[in-house]
Every structure is written in C-alpha cells, then in structure tokens.
Homo-oligomer: A and B are copies of this chain.
C-alpha cells in the first residue's frame, strides 16, 4: 500500500499516468511528450512498474508500458479516483496536446507497435 502511494507521490509520475490513461506508451513517447530525459523517463516508469501500477512488454527495441490489469482489479476505488483526478491536473491540457502531436509526428518509430 505504501509502495503504491510512494509511486504516486511525484509530479512527473502523475503526468506520466495521465497520459497512459489514454493507452500504452513507450519510453521515448513519454520522453518526447513530457520533455524529460530518457533516463528520467525510464526510471519513473520503473518505479511505477515496481509498485504494481504499470506493467510492460517488449516488442523490438521498444518497451511499452500500460496500466496493470491486476492493479485495477485489486485497487478499484483508487483506480476510479485516479481516472477522475489525473485529467484534472493543471499540467494535463498541455501534456495531452503534446501527446497528440507526438502521435501525428511519429517522433520515434514505435507506432509499429503490435496492438
């Protein structure tokens, strides 16, 4: 329980989650949308994964992160809370715009994703 809250108690990680609500993302997309360094993006995603909130799979060079089904099932109320509150973050509007741009610009080639 503490691990989940620790993972959630950082601005950058909440911003990451607010975008992952829209669907799975790879590290380079986070890096581009949220303008953070690659190592920083990777570390935050690792924290979120270790807490059980995210899960990941690899395809080619890319690691795709998405919300863990197990997390949703075991933390229904918290998940509902996050869905409501994350899109109300002050950063969300501009982050979501950047996310839309990323999608059209295909900054990395990760749109080759299997799903």
- Whether B2 contacts A5 by the Cβ 8 Å rule is no
- Assembly CA distance A1 to B10 (angstroms): 9
| CB contact between A1 and one of B2, B6, B14, B80 (< 8 Å): that residue | B14
A77: which B residues are within 8 A, CB to CB? 77-78, 80-81, 84
- Assembly CA distance A1 to B9 (angstroms): 8
* Copies of this chain in its oligomeric complex: 2
> Main SS of chain A's interface residues?
helix
- Assembly CA distance A2 to B1 (angstroms): 16
- Assembly CA distance A6 to B14 (angstroms): 12
A residues within 8 Å of B by Cβ?
1-2, 5-6, 8-11, 14, 75-78, 80-81, 84-85, 89
